[in-house]
Structures are given as structure tokens and as C-alpha cells.
């Protein structure tokens, strides 16, 4: 029920949360919707690739020598896919209530994501062509840059899930100490009973998004490196 709390001259209404079941369904729906929107975003680059390739304006679609590093690109892609697989195994551990195992796997996936982004950045710097070198170079730099950007988002999402489960690893079944509720030490009340109640749903959601995203990365890799 709503209660009014005063802090530092401002009054807050501490409101009843939705039931964790509802919030879990929200997360699940959101991950699917977000994945669709992400797919539409990369669809634009997919379309750009084939459209510019078919037009080959001024013969500058793919000048000789414009070739990104196959090794680094493949490694980055493998890192994303491996991250998705490890994360999915982590989800299975979580379903089986193996807490330490899933946290480890989550951390590995997180590290793999970071490795993928680092590899991508290295690949840009070792490339001996620039974004101005024709249509393919444009699509390559744009597409990989936005993959890295969306990847940062996925990594952030996973990190928050891990962080909360690590912070409350000891108090898994009890309420959080007062003031821990919102990450705001001045807060007196707590507005969520069990801080871990949403971890399962969040993990499922982030794993779904990551897998979907990894599939988009594979498509990008096939298009950019193999075709």
C-alpha cells in the first residue's frame, strides 16, 4: 500500500511493486520486443550492404585492398556466439538452482563480450583502409560499430544481473537490510521484498537477447566476411 515518506524536504510515495510474476513477464516481453527492434535496426545495414553492392556506383563498391582482418573478425564473432552459449548454459544452471555455477558462467560470458568488443576495436585500428574507401568500407565500419554499441548494452544488462546476485549472495532468502532497497543509502524503507526475485527472469531475458544478438552478429559476419 502507498505510504508517504519524507526525505530531505521532498516527499516520496513508496508504492507497492507489481508482483514479481508480473515484472518477470514484463522482462520476458521486453526482451522479445527489444530483440525485434534490434533486428530492424540491423536490417537497415543488411539492406545497405546488398543494395550498394548491387548498384556498385562508380565501381567504388569494393575497391581492391579493402579487406578487414578475417582472423580478428571471426574471433570477435566467435566470442559473441560463445558468450551466448555459455550464458545459456548458465541459465540452465540457474534453473537447477546451482548458484555459483551460473554466476561463473555469467562472468565468463561477460568477459567474452568484452573480449569481442576489444577485438573489434583492434580490427578497426589494424585495418589498412578507412571509412571513406567506398561502399563496402562504409557498411563495414557502420555495421561493426553498431554491433559493438548494442553489445555494450547487452553486457551492461548482464552485468546488472550478476551484480545484484553477487551483492545479495548471502541474503538470498531474507529481505535486504534497510536502505539497500534502491541503492540510495538515505532511503529508510524498502520497496521490494526480495532483491533476488527478478534475477531468474532477468537472466532469461538477457540470455534470450544475447542469443538473438549473437545470431545477428553471425549474419553480419557471413555478409561482411564471407560474401
Partner 1 sequence: MSETAQTAGAPAPVAVRRPPLWRRLIGFNLLTAVLLGIGGWYLGWWLGHQVSGASIAYFSDTDQNDIALFLGYFTAVVGFLIGMGFLQYPIARLRGYPPSLREKETEGIGRYFGLCTDHKVVGIQYLFGVGLFFFIAGLNAMLIRFELLRPTPVFNSGNYLTLVGLHGTMMMGMMTSAVLGPFANYFVPIMIGARRMAFPRIESLTFWLLMAAGGILMTTVFFGGFPTGWTGYAPLGNQANYGMDSYIMFFALVGISMCLLGLNMLATVITMRAPGMTWDRLPIFVWGVISTSILNLLAPPVLVAALSMSLLDRTAQTTYYLQSGGGSQYLYQNLFWFFGHPEVYILALPGFGILLELLPVFSRKPLWGYRLAVAGMMGVTLLSFLVWQHHLFVSGINANLRPFYMLSTELISIPTGLTFLCGLLTIWRGSIRFTVPMLFALAWFFNFLIGGISGVFNSDTPSDTTEHGSFFVMAHFHYTIMGGLIFTFFAAIYYWLPKMTGLQLNERLGKIHFWIMFLAFNSTFLPLFAVGFLGQPRRVVTYASNLQFLNDWVSVSAFVLGLSMLVFLYNLVYSLLFARIRAERNPWGSLSIEWQLPSPVPVQNFDTIPVFQNDPYGYGDGAGPVTRPVGIPARGR
Q: Is 147 in the site for partner 1 (CB under 8 A)?
A: no
CA–CA separation, 215 and 171 (whole Å): 36
CA–CA separation, 194 and 175 (whole Å): 5
Q: Is 25 in the site for partner 1 (CB under 8 A)?
A: yes
Minimum CB distance to partner 1 smaller for 14 or for 121: 14
- State the nearest-atom distance from the C-beta of 188 to partner 1, in Å: 12
Minimum CB distance to partner 1 smaller for 75 or for 192: 192
x-marked contacts with partner 1 along 166-205 as a string, rule CB under 8 A: xxx-------x---xxxxx------xx--xx-x-------
- Other CB atoms within a 10 A radius of the CB of residue 105 amount to 22
Minimum CB distance to partner 1 smaller for 62 or for 105: 62
Taken in order 187, 192, 196, 200, the sign of the CA dihedral is negative
Q: Phi and psi (nearest 5°) for 133?
A: -90, 60
Q: Is 45 in the site for partner 1 (CB under 8 A)?
A: yes
Minimum CB distance to partner 1 smaller for 62 or for 78: 62
Residue owning grid cell 513508496:
14
Amino acid at each position: 500500500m502507498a505510504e508517504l515518506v519524507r526525505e530531505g524536504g521532498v516527499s516520496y510515495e513508496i508504492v507497492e511493486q507489481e508482483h514479481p510474476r508480473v515484472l518477470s513477464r514484463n522482462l520476458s516481453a521486453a526482451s522479445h520486443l527489444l530483440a525485434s527492434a534490434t533486428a530492424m535496426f540491423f536490417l537497415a545495414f543488411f539492406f545497405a550492404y546488398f543494395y550498394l553492392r548491387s548498384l556498385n556506383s562508380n565501381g567504388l563498391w569494393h575497391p581492391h585492398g579493402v579487406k578487414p582482418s578475417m582472423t580478428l573478425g571471426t574471433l570477435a564473432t566467435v566470442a559473441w556466439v560463445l558468450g551466448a552459449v555459455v550464458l545459456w548454459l548458465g541459465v540452465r544452471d540457474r534453473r537447477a538452482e546451482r548458484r555459483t555455477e551460473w554466476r561463473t558462467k555469467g562472468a565468463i560470458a561477460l568477459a567474452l563480450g568484452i573480449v569481442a568488443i576489444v577485438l573489434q576495436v583492434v580490427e578497426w585500428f589494424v585495418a589498412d583502409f578507412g571509412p571513406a574507401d567506398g561502399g563496402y568500407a562504409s557498411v563495414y565500419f557502420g555495421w561493426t560499430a553498431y554491433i559493438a554499441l548494442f553489445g555494450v548494452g547487452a553486457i551492461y544488462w548482464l552485468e546488472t544481473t550478476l551484480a545484484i546476485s553477487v551483492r545479495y549472495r548471502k541474503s538470498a532468502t531474507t529481505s535486504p537490510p534497510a536502505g539497500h532497497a534502491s541503492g540510495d543509502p538515505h532511503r529508510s524503507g524498502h520497496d521490494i521484498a526480495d532483491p533476488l526475485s527478478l534475477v531468474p527472469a532477468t537472466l532469461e531475458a538477457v540470455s534470450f537477447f544475447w542469443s538473438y544478438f549473437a545470431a545477428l552478429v553471425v549474419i553480419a559476419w557471413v555478409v561482411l566476411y564471407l560474401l
